[in-house]
Each structure stands twice: as structure tokens, then as C-alpha cells.
Structure 1
Amino acid sequence: MRVKIYFLVFCLFLLKIQETSAQSLKVISYNIHHGADQHEVNTLQQMGEFIRNSNADLVGLQEVDSVCNRSGKVDQMKVLAEITGMHYVFLRHFEYDGGAYGLGVLSKYPIINQQNDKITSIKNGEKKSLALLSAKICLPEGEVIRFATVHFALDQATRLIQASETSAHLGSDLPVVLTGDFNAEPNTEEMELLSQNYTMADSNLGHTFPVVNPDKKIDYIWISKDCFLQSPKIQIPLSIKNSDHLPLIADILLTCTSK
């Protein structure tokens, strides 16, 4: 009986160590449709307020405008950072409409550096490139992770190339949290490629597109394999119709952060 009690105490002690060494993070992946809703009404302020009120730690954003004519010549990442009080970075895919169009990251914690590893884009038979934005984030206890966001192509042939390139670029030197609009539904070959290195946070495969009566799962949050204690808590708030996509929220518990 005494041996059983000692064993129980030891197990509780190990569990306590595991809990204290884990890092809880609230992560959002959000295609913001250049700061407009499905009717092209500017909703950037509402998007910022939603992110602020969510108390997110890390946000990966796709379809971000930077001083484009169509969105009022606004630096959207700067505005979102001002509303939320978060650190931010922006990387462009390409010049667009008097400004630039690309990806953004918001972080509650300091951003050590940002990296743009280009992925292949093929349009009308011409091979170009798009941004893959990743940032090293310093978490509260000094741990470092790589947080990334990406926007895959509409055609599968290109997505297969992009999935392979994304995994290669992000590497395995740091724990990775990867967000994005992947334009691919679950169980496709390109998503299977990503699953070789990462675990999909949303195991229930909740639909994220379109914003009204969603019937497709194309937005994802991926986590380095064996880097969380339990299945993340997932939210897809159906009432947030500020874009043509729904935001995807995951509360994750990382256990393999690096210093």
C-alpha cells in the first residue's frame, strides 16, 4: 500500500513538472481579405478589435494590404498593431495597386527576427514566387519558437510544391507553429505532406470558408509533432463575419520550446 502511495506521489510530481514546463499559447490563423468583408466593406477596425478581445498571443494573417489604393492607402499591419498593442511584421508577395499585398504576423511577445523563404508560384505557365513569412518569437520564460504564416495556391500541382518547400524552409531547429490559408481540404496529398512533420491542431476539421454557411476546411494551424501535451481547444467563431473567411483559434500547450 505504501509503495502505491509513493508511486502516486511520484506521478503527480512528474505531472506538475510537465505542467510548469509547458507554454500555453492562443494562436489565430485569419485570412483578412484585404481588411474587407465579403461585400467589400472595410472592416479592418473590427478585425483589430476582435483580435484584441480574443487575447491572442500569436496571429498569422493572410491577404494583407500595405498602402494599396483599394484599401485606402492604409498600412494595415501597423493599424492592427496599434489596435491590439502587439508587435508586428509584414512581408509582401508582390507589388499591388499602388502598394503591396502579402502576409502579416502579430505577436504579444518580442519578435527576434523575421525571415522570408520564398515558395513557388506558377501563374499562366510562368514560374514566380510568394512569401513564406516566419518569425522567431521569444516567449515569456526565454523559450524561442518559429511562428509562420503562408498562403498556398489555388491549383493542387503548385500546392504540392509549396507544401514540400514550406517544410524544408521551416526546418526542425526550433519548434514550429504554422498558420495559413492552404486552399486545400483535409486528406489531400499536399496536406498529407505537411502531416509528415506537423500535427494539425484542428482534429475536428471545422469549416472555415466561406464566412456564411461554411462548407470547406482550408485554413489550418499546424504544430511540430510531439510538441503539445493535449489536443488543442479549437474555436471557429461563426459570428465574426469581418472577412470572407472565418478566423481559426487554437489554445495550444507547447512542451518542446527551445532556449
Structure 2
Amino acid sequence: MADNKLKVMTYNIHHANPPSNAAEGIINVDTIAGVINKQAPDLVGIQEVDNGTARSGNINEAAILAQKTGMHYRFFKAINYDGGEYGLTILSRYPIRSEKQIALPRVMDGEARILCYVTLNIPGKGNLIFANTHLDAQHADGNRIVQVGRIMREFNKTHTPVIITGDFNSAPSQQTIQILDQYFRRSCVSGCPYTIPQINPDKTIDYIALKNEQWPVTDHRVIPETYASDHRPVIAVYQIK
């Protein structure tokens, strides 16, 4: 953190499989690490991460990303997949003091989804909860509404600052994000650049949001990266008071 600024990234990495090479199953963790390193964030919430799956060559993508970025990490399994695990990752410049994973509810069929979060201590600034999620992709707002509701209840009673990142699979006009907005302040709320698809994006579904603090957002950007994933990474910079 430079000049009391906290730089946060959210990135759905498509299990490090560039969409242009999806049929060939090419895995390029180096490119994902390069995208992260170029932005030099303090905290990163990553979605669609493989750990020991056959399709990704049985590698631990989270551990490799941590090694290549020099950051602390935690991997959180959402589901078993292809002989390994598939889920979320958190990267942090700061040591991780504790971690938690919550299974999110479903009211109809759909892939199991989770919320994960860690507690950090920012030197001279105190504790921060950093959370990451990836909501249902298959059913309009059905599962997503109950999932975001569960996330809001998880943080309802905490007074610690909370930053949440993730692929919410919902546009700002949808009820899922309207529920989020009742509790969190998104880093961009109007005129925001789109995050998907990676080429000629036309929709925003990836977000960074803050609760329990009024830190100003000094920068919100969607990085114009078109090779590494089918989502563009999002950056928000908070001025920590």
C-alpha cells in the first residue's frame, strides 16, 4: 500500500485457459500472473481457479499465482472437478490472519457456490475483512438472490471494514446487485466500464464493494486485457483514511 492507498483487483481467470485456446485446453498461468503483476494490487479476489484437475495438468494454480506474484494466498474449493478441485482464490500482500468459507444456498438446481473471506491486518490501519465470491451463472436471479442474501447476513453484524470482490453474474439493474447496494458501496455505480466479454465487452457483472467505511475511491478501472480470460480484470483504489 503506497500513500495510504489500497489497490484491489477482482478477476475471473477462466481456469487460466485463454478463450481463444479453449478448444485446445491450453493453460497459461504465466499470463494471468503477468496481468496481476502489471497492476501490482494489494488484494486480489480470483474466480474459476483449478487445483489438481486433469484439464489443467494437475497443477495448483493458486499456489503458482502466489509464487509468481509474491503474495500470500488461500484457495477455497467450491466443487470437486475432473480429479481435482475448482473454486476461488484470495491473494494478499498482507499476512492472512484467519479464513472462512461459507456454502451458499440454492433454491433450484445449479453448481455449488461459496463465499470465502480472510481477515488481514493493515499496518497502522487495523483489521480488514477481504471477501470473494462467484454467484450462480445458470438461473436468472433465482439462486443469486438467495446467495447474495446469505452473504449480506454473514457480514451484517460485523463492524470491521469489509471489501468484497467477485463475479456476481448480474448486471447493476438486476435484483442481486440491488440487494448488494443496500449494504455495500460499489467502487463504481454509474457509467462504469463493462467487464465481459473480453473483446468488445457489453455487460458489467464483476464488482468490488466496500462496507463499514467511507474510504474514497480514487480510481476504478477495467483493464483492457483480451487474451488471458473471458472476463476483464477490475481495479479499484481506495484512499485509506
- Global fold match (TM > 0.5): yes
| CA-CA distance at 1:254 after TM superposition | 3.2
Task: Give the secondary-structure state (helix, strand or coil) at the position aligned to 1:244.
Answer: coil
Which position in structure 1 is the counterpart of 2:85? Answer: 100
CA contact (8 A) 2:107 2:146 kept: no
Verify: 1:198 aligned to 2:181, yes or no: no
Q: Which runs of 4+ in 1 moved over 3 A?
A: 121-124
Which position in structure 2 is the counterpart of 1:222? Answer: 209
Identify the match of residue 105 of structure 2 among 102, 107, 120.
120
Q: Which runs of 5+ in 1 are unaligned?
A: 1-21
Task: Give the secondary-structure state (helix, strand or coil) at the position aligned to 1:180.
Answer: strand
Q: Distance in 2 between matches of 1:85 and 1:67?
A: 21
245-254 vs 103-112, which moves further = 245-254
47-56 vs 97-106, which moves further = 47-56
Structure-to-structure mapping, 1:1-259, within 5 angstroms: 23-39=4-20, 40=22, 41-122=26-107, 124=109, 129-141=112-124, 143-154=126-137, 155=139, 156-171=141-156, 172-203=158-189, 204-224=191-211, 226-228=213-215, 230-255=216-241
The amino acid of 1:234's aligned partner reads H
Q: Distance in 2 between matches of 1:59 and 1:102?
A: 14
Q: Distance in 2 between matches of 1:140 and 1:32?
A: 30
CA contact (8 A) 1:199 1:222 kept: yes
Superposition CA RMSD, Å: 1.7
CA contact (8 A) 2:51 2:61 kept: yes
Q: Distance in 1 between matches of 2:13 and 2:106?
A: 21
Q: Distance in 1 between matches of 2:172 and 2:114?
A: 23
CA contact (8 A) 1:159 1:190 kept: yes
CA contact (8 A) 1:240 1:247 kept: no
Q: Distance in 2 between matches of 1:81 and 1:160?
A: 32
CA contact (8 A) 1:199 1:225 kept: no
User: Between the two proteins, what is the percent identity of the paired residues?
Assistant: 32
TM-score by length of 1: 0.84
Task: Give the secondary-structure state (helix, strand or coil) at the position aligned to 2:105.
Answer: strand
The amino acid of 1:104's aligned partner reads T
The amino acid of 1:24's aligned partner reads K
Task: Report how many aligned residue pairs link the two structures.
Answer: 231
Q: Which runs of 5+ in 2 are unaligned?
A: none
| CA-CA distance at 1:23 after TM superposition | 4.0
Name the one with the larger helix percent.
1
Q: Distance in 2 between matches of 1:239 and 1:50?
A: 8
